[in-house]
Chain A
Amino acid sequence: MAEIRNYTMNFGPQHPAAHGVLRLVLEMDGETVVRADPHVGLLHRATEKLAESKPFNQSIGYLDRLDYMSMMCNEHAYVRAIEQLLGIEPPPRAQYIRTMFDEITRFSNHLLWIASCGIDLGAMTVFLYAFREREMVMDMYEAVSGARMHAGYYRPGGVYRDLPDHMAPYKETRWTKGKSLKRRNEWREGSLLDFIEAFAVDVPDKIDEYETLLTDNRIWKQRTVGIGVLTPEKALQMGCSGVMLRGSGVEWDLRKKQPYAMYDQVDFDIPVGVGGDCYDRYLVRVEEMRQSAKIILQCVDWLKKNPGHVMLKNFKVIPPTREEMKDDMEALIHHFKLFTEGYCVPEGETYAAVEAPKGEFGCYLVSDGANKPFRVHFRAPGFAHLSGINEMARGHMLADTVAIISTLDLVFGEVDR
């Protein structure tokens, strides 16, 4: 009789459902996964080491490139850590802008998640729907920071600049003109805040559209219900955070439990799952999108009523404006010192965490009093989630592994750092 042996196969690093550069070595018994051993690090860029050789502000750009689906949330953790050590607090308007853009980022992340998860499980249409909205989110990023993805917008002490009064409209092309151009520019006649408001008012209807495609879809449910079940105890042991934890029924959200920025001033709910399977994580993410829209509207309302500074006026940390530089010697000196040397952060260590779309994104910062960090460590949610994939995938079919990887919401920029 022929001997039956387990079969080892490679999943990735070029597989489209591996969400980047995950190499998963799977030991298979027929179609069933016996052991999953992820090999990560293919995107390791030593961000933490690079940050040690640069003044504090110059590393903000690297943070965008960690989790490149939720750029501003990463920046938020880093600038909060610096602010804690410096003992400064940004003005309220900057805090509201950060809250709003954190939520816009969460929205954008979940849109991309629903799109790619749909494709992984064979639902093409939702991808097209989600990218239609994501385009507008990218436009918001572009309007406020000049970059569509890697914004570099948050700074210690506030945000780089105030929200623009003007939203760039579409220009006439051979394909977009007349009525269709008018329709596309309908929201873009006022300021950025008007655009964001129109978007956030409209978007629950768009979320309904995604839900009609997926929530009661028989195939979708067959692929996700009861797959990759994570009990609350296991989720805690594995170091899960964010949706992974809430999908398993643990009511934990840093925005509520350890509020930062202006999250204690806005009203929103925390959706919690019951089963801890892929379907519950999907439901939690969809509901989070709705809650994000709610928070965005509250922030828009406040920001419209309260103009003010978006940066602290502390020239020891924050550079003066160009205008001030032109007629004030001292401002010029400050500007020169801040851009050649940077500021020195008092000796100490801190840990600042934010509720990033994927979970708890933390920044552990050690300063020895220099103008560069002595050691900075980023706690990426995806790293902890991926480490538990062996336990989650064991006993499932190969195709279910795709569903599990997908609902872990991995981005290898942050897993590998």
Chain B
Amino acid sequence: MSATPKAISEMFRDRFGDRVAVGETFSGIVTLEVDTDAWLEVCRALRDEEDFSYEQLTDLCGLDYLSYGQSEWDTTDASTDGFGRAVEGMGPGRFDWAGRPEARNVKQRFGVVVHLLSFRHNRRLRIRCHAPDEGMPIVPSLVEIWSSANWYEREAFDLFGIIFEGHPDLRRIMTDYGFTGHPFRKDFPLIGNVEVRYDSQKKRVVYEPVQIEPRVGVPRVLRDDSRYKTDEVDQAADARAEQIAAEDTAANGRKS
């Protein structure tokens, strides 16, 4: 990983222009946002061109951005009733099949995230593509470019219902034969919708609606308060102390 993250980001900007949006770099991995129209073209270039040569698709997964950034517990406001005790919201695991939240028209709800690895440059890259239509999310398939995408795309189709256009064999992979629904969507209940047992009278396995109740103990909270900033304060203080120490040694050195 010789080139700096900034130089790498520049490289993508120069090559692809406004077809990709270069996101931030975190822990050495650049994120590219690509439209479905440019998806295949960009990926092919990422694999074949000398500067990129991402030989391997390490990982591909679906994402459902419904309820992103929503908390179940108001931690900022206090009212006359005291601090909000009641858990409100429809976070993961808090609803059953009948009471599942209605997926309003969330913009850019479904996304596909791919992690690429270049062995030649020892570099990783994350590319993301949002499906344009939330009702019927369709994204072009990458199987032609990296064959390892095959099962990952099947998995994303099974769990999120993202359809990969051009996939040779888009079957369910994880869920049971004859399963309905896409279990990793945020509006699918954590407890599921059917349960299976052996019926000794009918002498076969039967499917019935689930009998367990949703139960999640810990509310989902979003906090962005000062307690997570103490580190920065500490570090600033440490840096200042070191600076003073360095100045002192320098001054002493001059004296002697």
Q: Which A positions have Cβ atoms within 8 angstroms of B?
A: 40-41, 44, 46, 48-50, 52-55, 84, 87, 236-239, 241, 250, 252, 257-258, 314, 316, 340-342, 344, 346-353, 360, 362, 364, 366, 368-372, 374-375, 377, 379, 383-384, 386-388, 416-417
Instruction: Give the distance in Å from the alpha carbon of A384 to the alpha carbon of B183 in the complex.
Output: 21
A239 touches B228 (CB 8 A): no
Binding site for A on B (CB under 8 A): 1, 26-27, 29, 31, 55-59, 61, 63-64, 68-69, 71, 91-93, 113, 115, 119, 122, 124, 126, 146-148, 150-152, 155, 172-176, 183-184, 190, 216, 218-224, 227-228, 230-231
**Within the complex, what minimum Cβ distance (angstroms) separates A242 from chain B?**
12
Cβ–Cβ contact B173 & A41, under 8 A: yes
Which one of A84, A362, A371 lies within 8 Å of B59 (CB-CB)?
A: A362
A396 to chain B, nearest CB (A): 19
Complex CA distance for A360 and B57, rounded to whole angstroms: 12
Alpha-carbon distance between A237 and B146 when the two chains are bound, in angstroms: 6
B119 pairs with A250, CB closer than 8 A:
yes
CA distance A237 to B147 in the complex (A): 6
B31 to chain A, nearest CB (A): 8
Residues of A within 8 A of B115 (CB): 351, 362, 364, 379
Verify B183–A49 contact, CB threshold 8 A: yes
Q: Considering the chains assembled together, what is the distance between the CA atoms of A385 and B145 in angstroms? A: 18
Q: Are A341 and B221 in contact (CB under 8 A)?
A: yes
Which residues of B are found within 8 Å of A344, using beta-carbon distances?
221-224, 228
Contacts of B184 in A (CB 8 A): 46, 48-49
B228: which of A41, A316, A351, A384 is its contact (CB, 8 Å)?
A: A316
- The CA of A346 and the CA of B231, in the complex, are separated in Å by 13
Q: Are A366 and B221 in contact (CB under 8 A)?
A: no
Main SS class of interface, B? loop
Q: Are B220 and A360 in contact (CB under 8 A)?
A: no
Separation in Å of the B244 CB from the closest CB of chain A?
A: 24
Report whether A236 and B56 are in contact in the complex, using a CB–CB cutoff of 8 Å: yes
Do B59 and A387 touch (CB < 8 A)?
no
Shortest CB–CB separation between residue B34 and chain A, in angstroms?
Answer: 16
A316–B173 contact, CB under 8 A?
no
Check if B69 sits within 8 Å of A369, measured CB to CB.
Answer: yes
A384 with B151, Cβ < 8 A, contacts A351-B126, A369-B223 known: yes
Assess the A377–B148 pair: CB atoms within 8 A. no
| 5 shortest interchain CB distances as A-B pairs | A239-B148, A53-B93, A387-B151, A41-B174, A379-B59
**Are B146 and A49 touching (Cβ within 8 A)?**
no
* A383 cross-chain contacts in B, Cβ below 8 A: 151-152, 155
Bound-complex Cα distance A384 to B150 (A)? 9
* Contacts known (A40-B173, A349-B26, A364-B113); A370 close to B56, Cβ less than 8 A: no
Q: Of A48, A53, A250, A350, which is in contact with the most chain B CB atoms at under 10 Å from its CB? A: A53
Beyond A49-B184, A238-B148, is A368–B93 a contact (Cβ under 8 Å)?
no
**A348–B124 alpha-carbon span in the complex (Å):** 17
Contact yes or no, B220 A371, CB < 8 A: yes
Taken together as a complex, chains A and B put the C-alpha atoms of A240 and B242 apart, in Å, by: 47
- In the complex, which residues of chain B have a beta carbon less than 8 angstroms from the beta carbon of A40? 173-174
Cβ–Cβ contact A375 & B63, under 8 A:
yes
Inter-subunit contact A340/B218 (CB<8 Å): yes
Contact B63 A366 (CB under 8 A): yes
When chains A and B are docked, how far (Å) is the Cα of A46 from the Cα of B224? 29
State the Cβ distance, B23 to closest chain A Cβ, in Å: 9
Task: Name the residue on B nearest A416 (C-beta).
Answer: B174
Q: How far, in angstroms, from A53 to B220 measured CA to CA in the complex?
A: 8
The contact sample of 14 A-B pairs, CB cut-off 8 A, is: A41-B172, A53-B91, A53-B190, A53-B216, A237-B148, A258-B122, A362-B115, A369-B222, A369-B224, A370-B71, A372-B91, A379-B58, A383-B155, A387-B151
Known contacts being A238-B148, A344-B228, A370-B222, is A44 close to B175, with CB within 8 Å? Answer: yes
Chain A residues contacting B218 (CB-CB under 8 Å) are 54-55, 340-342, 371-372
Chain A minimum-CB-distance residue to B221: A371
Task: Please indicate the chain A residues that have their CB under 8 angstroms from the CB of B152 in the complex.
Answer: 383
A44's closest neighbor in chain B, by CB?
B174
Residues in chain B near residue A55, CB distance under 8 A: 218
CA–CA, A368 to B69, complex, Å?
5
* A350 near B26: Cβ-Cβ < 8 Å: yes
A36, chain B: closest CB distance, angstroms: 13
In the bound complex, residues from chain B placing their C-beta under 8 Å from that of A369 are 69, 222-224
Bound CA–CA A84/B176 (angstroms): 36
Q: How far is the CA of A387 from the CA of B147 in the complex (A)?
A: 9
On whether the beta carbons of B190 and A50 are closer than 8 Å, the reply is yes
CB contacts (< 8 Å) of A316 on chain B: these are 227-228, 230
Determine whether the beta carbon of A252 is less than 8 Å from that of B119: yes
Are B27 and A377 interface neighbours, CB within 8 A? Answer: no
Residue from the list B71, B172, B224, B231 in contact with A87, Cβ < 8 A: B231
Rounded to whole Å, the gap between the CB of B114 and the closest CB of chain A is 10
Chain A residues near B216 (CB-CB < 8 A): 53
**Could you say which residues of chain B place their CB within 8 Å of the CB of A360?**
58
Closest to B68 in A: A368
Q: Give complex CA distance A384, B149 in Å.
A: 9
Given known A53-B216, A364-B113, A384-B151, contact A239–B58 (CB-CB < 8 A): yes
Contacts of A237 in B (CB 8 A): 56, 146-148
B residues less than 8 Å from A257 (CB atoms): 122
Assess the B228–A387 pair: CB atoms within 8 A.
no
